[in-house]
Amino acid sequence: MTTIAWDGKHMWSDSQATQGHHKYVVRKIITVATPTGPVLLGAVGDFTTLSPVIAALKAGEAYEQYVGKSSTILVVKDGVLTVTNCKYQWIEEAPYFEGSGKSLALGAYHASKSVAKAMAAAVAHDMFSSGPIVKIKAPARGAYR
């Protein structure tokens, strides 16, 4: 799976994708240009949902229909994190952690109050999360491309 974090200004992720016994390095968080301005996008779980979600965002269309049972999509627009999982969608406040390393990251964050240390703990101890850790700053509120 993965570990993704939102600290209110940046989205963080590990870089490991696992398929069976094979591990790959992938990019799990990206900035996407939409008709109403850029958004920050993160994906946890089944990555086959990512392409149609990106296409829908770029077209200014709803993306929720593409999020399946085994994936979670995180979208930050104007500093607000929206989490979509299957049929459910909700807003979360920072700090927020998602993925297989979530519990490890939450424990480390509770002890250190550092998202960087929380991500490092998840990468070190969750078998489905691995480095390098990627950090992307959210687009400025009201930013347009």
**Sign of the C-alpha dihedral, residues 92, 39, 54, 119?**
negative
7 domain residue, yes or no: yes
**Host domain of residue 86:** 3-99
Residue 51 is given by DSSP the state H
* pLDDT for the residue 25: 81
pTM above 0.95, yes or no: no
125 domain residue, yes or no: no
51 domain residue, yes or no: yes
Q: Break the chain down into helix, strand, coil percent, rounded to 5.
A: 25, 40, 35
Question: What is the block-wise mean pLDDT of the chain (145 residues), using blocks of 10 residues?
Answer: 93 87 85 95 89 96 92 95 93 96 96 96 92 92 60
47 domain residue, yes or no: yes
40 domain residue, yes or no: yes
132 domain residue, yes or no: no
Question: How many structural domains comprise the chain?
Answer: 1
24 domain residue, yes or no: yes
- Cα dihedral 123, 127, 131, 134, rounded to 10, equals -70
34 domain residue, yes or no: yes
Burial 49-77 (b: 16+ CB within 10 A, else e): bbeebbebbeeeeebbebbeeebbbbbbb
Listed residue (102, 89, 121, 95) closest to 44, CA to CA: 102
